[in-house]
Structure 1
Amino acid sequence: MASFKDQTLLVTGAGGNFGRIAVEELLARGATKLIAGTRDPAKLADLAARGVTVRKVDFDDAASLPAAFAGVDRVLIISTDGIGKRVAQQTAAIAAAKAAGVKHIVYTSAPAARPNADAGLGIEHYWTEVALAQSGLDFTILRDHMYAENNLMGAAHEIATGQLFGLIGDRGTAYVTRADAARTAAGALLTAEGKSIEDVTGPAAVTNVERAALYSQLTGKPVNSIAITPPELTAGLVGAGLPEGFAAALVAFQVDAVLGFHGVVTDTVERFSGRKPQTLADFLTENRAALGA
């Protein structure tokens, strides 16, 4: 496997949780010319003190992007949180990277990214992937599956009520931890060659029934999985106070689980990070306090 640890590597979004883990992994694996990109360099003063070059990288400021990518050989573009404007942000970044002479882009995408109206947030990832393909650059597209951390947003409520609502026909989700995904991205930045699309998954697909059983096992409280239709789930999420757009995106993820898109299991995490991915059961055990146990 190739090693690009002595090339100039840039991580965008380095001030976020994912980006910070990726930067730490790159340092641990011997990267010698590392740039941490962020909209607010002051937040990464500690990395600068450790010898990491900290550079302002703001995808909303197109005029600043040539300087942001100057001298960079390989870049990890962590998908932004700008829902609704990500395609414009990330397409501009790809164009600027190409103009600056970047040779390889690693991009964090989503499973089953496609232009279909039912793809939820996957539409934005799809068009970013298209921009990468059209750039002519080498790329590694990492389709990160549902983060295990997302379970913690609703787990305490589901355990307290004893009801976990999901869609009829759920075929499971191969939850992957954010740390495993970030370390995988770092590994791809260090070693990937050519052009490829990789699904980044946990070690097994976990159904809603199995997830409810895990909650019960860890807390001693009965939790039942209740299968409903997409309109019913959407109505329930909106009724609980979620914005309609966000509710629709969450339901789209579950629809894809019914279609089997989230049940894919690969060895991508182990190949790029050198570690086996953490199981959902182990992750939830480590975060038992968040379950209300």
Structure 2
Amino acid sequence: MSETILITGAAGQLGQRVIHHLLETYKVPAANLIAASRDISKLSDLAARGVQTRKADFDDAASLEAAFKGADRVLIISTDALAVPGQRLKQHTTAVAAAVKAGVKHIAYTSMPSPDKSLVTFAPDHLGTENAVKASGLPYTIIRNAWYLDNYMHSMPHNLQGGSWYTASGDGKVPNISRDDCALAAAAALASGTKDSVTYTLTGAQSLSADEIAAAVSQAAGKPLAAVKVTDDQLRQGLLGAGLPDFVADMLVSADANVRAGNFDHVTEDFNKLTGKQPQSLKDYFVANKAALVA
């Protein structure tokens, strides 16, 4: 009998794409999938396709245990609860404990590269969750996603209007990967049926500096863009001045500091190992998203 695979955060951007690739790329029958979300009304399209839908509230242990019942393999997608320190890690460890109680046979978790030495503000959440997964006694797949190419789309259209991208990343490099490629690789891992415990780090094929990234964005958009190097404090003040909450500004500054320190500068072949394909390049990603860049 085929395994039943449950995906948390199924209404989110990553969760939607993981389910898409399970259904369309890896041809997992809809009846073998469970889409879980805090708000199942957002899963009506999946339900119409025959995917089971279940309510899963990461702040409610009983809700998670009930959702996970009958699932053989569970993908815990890290939550977006970043505003309150400690809440995200508590949510994740609650989910791991619920998976054990529900009789899940394999846990998968979306993490980040090198959380043990990362300077990013949310790295301790990932490290703590990885440790909880390993301590659960269940076979596991930890999927460490590099910084998404998609993250640049929040600010690059605005940056292109002024021709400047303010960054505190210095000369550090980062091997960005698209969210969709991460979803494809996660789907491959889930569909593989593996019983082994493995940690993968998903990266792009090239590690690039801010100057190289700015040049690629400029070429794709047909507009000039320069990477302007600033200090952590200057970047933070600029982000706060733009109206971002303190915790978001601190997170973005810490991400740049992590790039500057070289902690993101590590390219792996794990995406190819899982999918048999090469990840979309940064240049191709921005060309494909030109309309959004110049909007």
TM-score, structure 2 length as denominator? 0.92
Kindly report the root-mean-square deviation, in angstroms, between the aligned alpha carbons of the 2 structures.
Answer: 1.8
Partner of 2:184: 183
Q: State the one-letter code of the partner of 1:291.
A: L
Conserved 8 A contact 2:142-2:200? yes
Counterpart in 2 of 1:273?
A: 275
Q: Is the 8 A contact 1:159 1:223 kept in 2?
A: yes
- Match status 1:127 vs 2:123: no
1:42 Cα deviation from its structure 2 partner: 2.5
Q: CA deviation at 1:108?
A: 0.5
Give yes or no for contact 2:170–2:210 (8 Å, CA) kept in 1.
Answer: no
Q: Distance in 1 between matches of 2:65 and 2:216?
A: 49
Per the alignment, residue 283 of structure 1 pairs with 285
Identity of aligned residues (%): 42
Residue 18, structure 1, aligned to residue 14, structure 2: yes
Is the Cα contact below 8 Å between 2:117 and 2:263 reproduced in 1?
no
CA–CA distance in 2 between the matches of 1:91 and 1:229?
35
Q: Given that residues 169 and 210 in structure 2 are in contact (C-alpha distance below 8 angstroms), is that contact kept between their aligned partners in structure 1?
A: no
1:154 maps to 2:155: yes
In 1, the alpha carbon distance for the partners of 2:90 and 2:48 equals: 33
- The answer to whether the 8 Å contact 1:180/1:273 transfers is no
Letter in 2 for 1:27: L
What is the aligned partner in structure 2 of residue 208 from structure 1?
210
2:46 & 2:237 partners in 1: Cα distance?
Answer: 45
Question: Match of 1:80, SS?
Answer: coil
Mapping for residues 219-238 of structure 1, pairs under 5 Å: 219-238=221-240
Residue-by-residue CA offset, 1:117-151 (whole Å, 9 max, x unaligned): x4311111111111111111111111111111111
Structure 2 residue identity aligned to 1:173: V
- Structure 1 counterpart of 2:89, from 73, 77, 87: 87
Please say if 1:65 is aligned against 2:64.
yes
Partner letter of residue 72 of structure 2? D
The residue number in structure 2 matching 1:143 is 144
Question: What is the CA distance between 1:168 and its match in structure 2?
Answer: 5.6
Structure 2 match to 1:9 = 5
Aligned pair count?
Answer: 288
1:30 is aligned to 2:27: yes
After the TM superposition, which residues 46-61 of structure 1 pair with which residues of structure 2 at under 5 Å, given as runs? 46-61=45-60
For the residue of structure 1 that corresponds to 2:278, the secondary structure is coil
Any unmatched runs of 5+ in structure 2?
A: none
- In the alignment, is the contact (CA less than 8 A) between 2:169 and 2:259 conserved in 1? no
Corresponding residue SS for 2:67? helix
Deviation sequence 1:271-293 (CA, Å, 0-9, x none): 22333210111111111122227
Looking at structure 1, the residues matched to 165 and 64 of structure 2 have their Cα atoms a distance apart, in angstroms, of 45
Distance 1:132 1:200 in 2: 19
Q: Deviations over 1:91-125 (max 9, x none)?
A: 11100101111121110111221387x43111111
SS at match of 2:208: coil
Contiguous gaps of at least 5 residues in structure 1: none
In structure 2, distance between residues paired with 1:50 and 1:219: 37
Question: 2: distance between equivalents of 1:157 and 1:65?
Answer: 40
C-alpha separation in 1, matches of 2:48 and 2:240: 46
- 2-structure distance, mates of 1:36, 1:217: 39
Which one-letter code corresponds to 1:54 in the other structure?
A: T
Secondary structure of the residue aligned to 1:261 is coil
Distance 1:89 1:143 in 2: 18
Aligned residue in 2 for 1:259: 261
Which deviates further from its counterpart, 88-97 or 237-246?
A: 237-246
Aligned equivalents of 2:72, 2:280: Cα separation in 1: 31
Which letter does structure 1 place at the counterpart of 2:15?
G
